[in-house]
């Protein structure tokens, strides 16, 4: 094929502009990114060769090579990994338009001060243009005799040409290094000492030898030590950190490192990390998660979901098993009993680490919870086998203080007269903090848990009690807050109120027949005129709202009960109003109840007109 010149898409032009013109420090990280890509390419070839041995030449040895040339101001990064077809080159380099690139551009300002984060965004190849004014890539896919040369000066275009690669399978990236101004203090990337130092700093743990021609013979620049096979006592905190950064491209420190060896009927080594911060793409639909799987030090796959439950998807790291078969596939993993045992073991280890962190370093645990608490809570409805362990790890906001609380701490603070653990769900802390549903509980000094993560509705549906104490929603009917003595005192008062307000209750039931199941007197309100509560078997208003946002509407609308506060003066006024006025006021009170719980109004225009009309009537009555 003759050489073709093509244009980058608009997004990549923007991306290249950011990389070339904006990132002005830590230019050395380009080498980390390109070496990491080379290592991945070798891993992929080794994995594919397990089922297609013919892909590997008989004398194949995995190697990454650095070839600097000061006379031509070039640096080559050469690997004998899986290589790429021309279609893959175009897909992964020429026309990349993925969420990583978008997020990278959105965080342009942060990238200027932290360009070392570039690898997190899946655009690491473009870091080559930080140091090169021309990049040439020559690649050939394993099993093919067709090579591709890709070349660009970062000017918005690139060329493609079909040329067999002399070395066969693999990839060679040639960087034509820029001329930098003296004041920019950029290292000489053709200098052997500089390259050795950078490999030691960023890529010492890469499992394949990184070689460079020495004075007499080839020199291996990295130790290739399988850190996870060493004793923890032999490993420094800095080494753990460097390996974490190599594994994740996260330049923040990990919150915790979990390194252990399982022995007995099943043997494996695990090196796990709890991150300190969420990755940029956390909880995106296309986010990959899972541990890297090694078998007898041979890399099998990254993002192995079968080794972790999804509610621990924030955990990073690897497992190296001595027992699994080397020709295992993703499909076979799901059915492997040993994999299930590894998963169980790893899950227990992580939950044990979190329990230890909670009991010994509460502040650090609360920082972790801020980042990943909503994810960990997903385990309560999804993993019944670990329910007891998980319920001890959950933190809640509450009306007690700004400090978060465990269920254990909540129970120890419960008043003698308090029967249940009370909670309310909603969209935000400010919304639920000011909710009228709290009025009587505040009056009695009962603490209420404030649940504002979307997953909380599913959490409380599975966590119905804790240490014999029932979890009770304060937005459901039948909220029982009084002692038997208090109920007896109020019984006559309630009966009298029902008799007095019967005309109002009847007219409101009639006016709101299409909207509510019933209108009854409330025992939970002290200041607000009315609120809506759910029947014990029905979904809460918040759950209905969440399901609607997920596109899963209930087949028939779920009606609720309108509770009215008999002591509020609006109802004594309603007794004296005409039937037509009572109907309008009933509609207004229903709309107010929807607003105070955070629901939207079915007819906001009608509500605003009714309120305006009331204001006019009130003004006229004053004159």
Q: How far apart are CA 197 and CA 28, in angstroms?
A: 11
Give the DSSP H/E element, type plus range, for residue 34. Answer: helix 29-51
For position 10, what pLDDT does the model report?
A: 65
Answer yes or no: is pLDDT of 99 > 50. Answer: no
> Which domains does the chain show, CATH number per domain?
4-220 (3.30.565.10), 227-368 (3.30.230.80), 396-473 (3.40.50.11260), 484-621 (1.20.120.790)
Distances (CA, A) of 479 to 347, 421, 446, 524, 535: 38, 12, 13, 8, 11
For position 623, what pLDDT does the model report?
A: 44
pLDDT tens string 473-483: 999 988 888 88
Query: What's the whole-model pTM score?
Result: 0.69
State the sign of the Cα–Cα–Cα–Cα dihedral 432, 433, 438, 439: negative
pLDDT band at 183 (very low <50, low <70, confident <90, very high): low
pLDDT band at 367 (very low <50, low <70, confident <90, very high): very high
Q: Tell me if 206 sits within 8 A of 64, measured CB to CB.
A: yes
**pLDDT: is 184 or 530 the higher one?**
530
Torsion of CA 538, 539, 541, 544, to 10 degrees: -130
Q: Tell me if 205 sits within 8 A of 227, measured CB to CB.
A: yes
| Helix/strand/coil percentages in the chain, nearest 5 | 45, 20, 35
Q: Tell me if 108 sits within 8 A of 22, measured CB to CB.
A: yes
Q: How far apart are CA 406 and CA 14, in angstroms?
A: 47
pLDDT tens string 485-498: 888 888 888 899 88
Q: How far apart are CA 100 and CA 119, in angstroms?
A: 10
What is the Cα Rg of the chain in Å? 32
Q: Tell me if 593 sits within 8 A of 530, measured CB to CB.
A: yes
Q: What is the DSSP letter of 68?
A: E
Q: Tell me if 463 sits within 8 A of 425, measured CB to CB.
A: no
Q: How far apart are CA 28 and CA 130, in angstroms?
A: 9
Q: How far apart are CA 471 and CA 476, in angstroms?
A: 12
For position 493, what pLDDT does the model report?
A: 84
Note the residue count of the chain.
623
Answer yes or no: is pLDDT of 186 > 50. Answer: yes
| Mean pLDDT in residue range 570-575 | 91
Query: Residue 531: beta bridge partners?
Result: 563
For position 117, what pLDDT does the model report?
A: 46
Other CB atoms within a 10 A radius of the CB of residue 184 amount to 10
pLDDT band at 332 (very low <50, low <70, confident <90, very high): low
pLDDT band at 545 (very low <50, low <70, confident <90, very high): confident
| 421-425: strand order across its sheet | 397-398, 448-451, 421-425, 469-473, 465-466
Answer yes or no: is pLDDT of 100 > 50. Answer: no
**pLDDT: is 429 or 203 the higher one?**
429
Residue spans of beta strands (DSSP E) within 506-599: 516-521, 530-533, 560-564
């Amino acid at each position: 094929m003759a050489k073709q010149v093509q244009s980058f898409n608009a997004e990549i032009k923007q991306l290249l502009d950011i990389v070339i013109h904006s990132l002005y420090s830590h230019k050395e990280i380009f080498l980390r990114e390109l070496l990491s890509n080379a290592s991945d390419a070798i891993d992929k070839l080794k994995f594919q060769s397990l089922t297609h041995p013919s892909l590997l030449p008989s004398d194949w040895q995995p190697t990454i090579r650095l070839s600097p040339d000061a006379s031509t101001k070039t640096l080559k990064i050469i690997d004998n990994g899986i290589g790429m077809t021309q279609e893959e080159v175009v897909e992964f380099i020429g026309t990349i338009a993925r969420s990583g690139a978008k997020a990278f551009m959105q965080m342009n300002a942060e990238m200027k001060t932290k360009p070392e984060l570039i690898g997190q965004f899946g655009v690491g190849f473009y870091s080559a243009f930080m140091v090169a004014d021309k990049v040439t890539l020559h690649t050939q896919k394993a099993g093919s005799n067709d090579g591709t040369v890709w070349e660009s000066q970062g000017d918005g275009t690139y060329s493609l040409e079909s040329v067999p690669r002399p070395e066969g399978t693999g990839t060679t990236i040639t960087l034509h290094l820029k001329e930098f101004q003296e004041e920019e203090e950029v290292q000489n990337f053709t200098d052997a000492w500089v390259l050795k130092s950078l490999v030691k700093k960023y890529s010492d743990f890469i499992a394949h030898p990184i070689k460079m021609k020495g004075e007499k013979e080839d020199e291996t620049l990295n130790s290739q030590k399988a850190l996870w096979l060493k004793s923890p006592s032999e490993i420094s905190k800095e080494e753990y950190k460097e390996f974490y950064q190599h594994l994740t491209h996260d330049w923040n420190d990990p919150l915790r490192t979990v390194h252990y060896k399982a022995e007995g009927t099943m043997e494996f080594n695990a090196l796990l990390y709890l991150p300190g911060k969420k990755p940029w793409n956390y909880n995106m639909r296309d986010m990959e998660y899972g541990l890297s799987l090694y078998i007898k030090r041979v890399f099998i796959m990254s993002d192995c979901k079968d080794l972790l439950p999804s509610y621990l998807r924030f955990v990073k790291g690897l497992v190296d098993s001595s027992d699994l078969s080397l020709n295992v596939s993703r499909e076979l993993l799901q059915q492997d009993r040993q994999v299930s045992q590894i998963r169980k073991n790893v899950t227990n280890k992580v939950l044990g680490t979190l329990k230890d962190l909670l009991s010994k370093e509460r502040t650090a645990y609360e920082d972790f919870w801020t980042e990943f608490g909503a994810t960990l809570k997903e385990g309560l409805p999804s993993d019944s086998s670990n329910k007891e362990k998980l319920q001890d790890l959950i933190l809640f906001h509450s009306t007690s203080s700004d400090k978060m609380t465990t269920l254990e701490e909540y129970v120890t603070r419960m008043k003698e007269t308090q029967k249940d653990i009370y909670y309310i769900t909603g969209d935000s802390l400010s919304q639920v903090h000011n909710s009228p549903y709290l009025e009587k509980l505040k009056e009695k000094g009962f603490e209420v848990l404030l649940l504002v993560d979307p997953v909380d509705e599913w959490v409380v549906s599975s966590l119905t009690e804790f240490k014999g104490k029932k979890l009770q929603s304060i937005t459901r009917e039948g909220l029982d807050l009084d002692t038997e003595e208090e109920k007896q005192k109020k019984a006559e008062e309630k009966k009298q109120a029902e008799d007095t307000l019967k005309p109002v209750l009847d007219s409101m039931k009639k006016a709101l027949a299409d909207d509510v199941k019933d209108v009854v007197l409330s025992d939970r309100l002290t200041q607000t005129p009315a609120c809506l509560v759910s029947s014990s078997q029905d979904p809460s208003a918040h759950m209905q709202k969440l399901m609607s946002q997920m596109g899963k509407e209930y087949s028939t609308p779920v009606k609720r009960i309108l509770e009215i506060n008999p002591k509020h003066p609006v109802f004594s006024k309603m007794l004296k109003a005409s039937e037509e006025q009572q109907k309008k006021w009933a509609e207004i009170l229903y709309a107010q109840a929807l607003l105070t719980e955070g629901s939207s109004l079915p007819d906001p225009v009608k509500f605003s007109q009714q309120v305006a009309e009331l204001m006019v009537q009130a003004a006229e009555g004053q004159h």
